[in-house]
Amino acid sequence: MSIIPPPAPEPVPSVRDLLAFYREAGVDCALGEAAMDRLAEQPLPAPAMRERAAAAPLPPAAGLRPGTAPGAAMPAAPEAAIASAREAARTAPTLEALRALLAEFDGCGLKATATRLVFADGNPQARVMFVGEAPGRDEDLSGLPFVGRSGKLLDLMLRAIGLDRTTAYIANVIPWRPPGNRDPSPQETQICLPFIKRQIELVDPDVLVCLGKPSSQAILELKDGIMRTRGRWRDYHTGTRTIRAMATFHPAYLLRQPIYKRMTWLDLRAIAKALHETAAPS
Ligand code: URA
C-alpha cells in the first residue's frame, strides 16, 4: 500500500506579493485613513421602511457618504452637480479663475479619491489644443496631463509635426484620476464637461484635437468608435467662434495597437497642414 503524502501547504503570500497583486488589480489608492468593512455597514432598512427612507431628507450630519474620509464633501446629485458645474464654468473669466473654481468644486466624487487636480499643461496661447480622457497614476501624482507612458508617446507625436509643450496646450475631459484608472462614469463626464468646454473657449485654439473615443464622444458628440470618426474635420463651436476639430487615436491605444500609428501620422499631417493654413501671414 502506498501512502500519498498530504499536499504541501500553499506558501503564505508576503506583504510585497499582496501589494503587487492589489496594484495589478487597480487597487492603488486609499479612500480613508482606516480600513472599513463596507459590506457590514448600513444594514438595508426593512422592506416597509425602504420607500420612506429613500424619500426622507438626509440629516445634516449626512454631509459625508458612509466611508468617506472626514473633511471630504459629499458629491451633489448628478443633475444638481451638472447645473452647478455649468454655472461655475460659465462665470470663469480666465484660465486661472477656472482652475481655482475647479479646485473648489465638490460636485464630482472623483475629487475625493484623486491626489491632485490635473488641469492642463502647455502654452495657453497655443493655436492647437489636445484633449485626452482622464489622468492616470503618473498624472495624478504630478498634477500634469500626459506625463506617463502615453504622455511620452504624445510628446513624440507632437514633435513629429514640429510641436511641443511650448506650442501646444494639453488637457483632459476629466481633471481627476478615476480610482484604479477605471472608466469615468457618464455622470462624472457630464459633470466635468462644462469645465473642459469653458477651458477650450478660454484657450481659443485654431485647431482642437480629441484623443480617443471618450474625448471625441464627450466634446464632439460623436457616437461612433474612433476607427470611424478619426481623421475627419468637424466644426466645433467654442461659444465664441467655430474652429476646426479632429478626433484621432489616443496614445494609450497606440501603445497597445502600434499598427494604427500609420493612420495617426495621416491625422497629424492634416493637423499640421490646418495650422499652416490658418496661420496669420507674417
Ligand atoms: N490618458 C489621458 O487621457 N490623459 C492623461 O493625462 C494621461 C493618460
Ligand 1 atom showing the smallest separation from residue 212 Cα: 3
Ligand 1 pocket: which residues have CB below 6 Å? Answer: 132-136, 139, 145-146, 148, 150-151, 172, 252
**Which residues, 6+ apart, have CB-to-CB distance to 182 below 8 Å?**
26
Judge contact between 109 and 177, C-beta under 8 A.
Answer: no
Q: Residue 44 has which C-alpha cell?
A: 438595508
Cβ burial, residue 75 (10 Å; 0-12/13-18/19+)? buried
Classify domain 77-277 at the CATH topology level: Uracil-DNA Glycosylase, subunit E (3.40.470)
HSE at residue 42, side-chain half, CA atoms within 13 A, is: 8
Question: Which grid cell is 11?
Answer: 506558501
199 CA to centre of ligand 1 in angstroms: 16
Report angle CA 158, 183, 35 to the nearest 5 degrees: 120
Q: Ligand 1 center to residue 134 CA distance, Å? A: 5
List per-residue pLDDT tens for the chain, 282 residues long: 667 777 777 777 777 776 776 666 556 666 556 666 655 655 544 444 444 333 333 333 333 334 444 445 556 788 999 999 999 999 999 999 999 999 999 999 999 999 999 999 999 999 999 999 999 999 999 999 999 999 999 999 999 999 999 999 999 999 999 999 999 999 999 999 999 999 999 999 999 999 999 999 999 999 999 999 999 999 999 999 999 999 999 999 999 999 999 999 999 999 999 999 988 776
pTM: 0.78
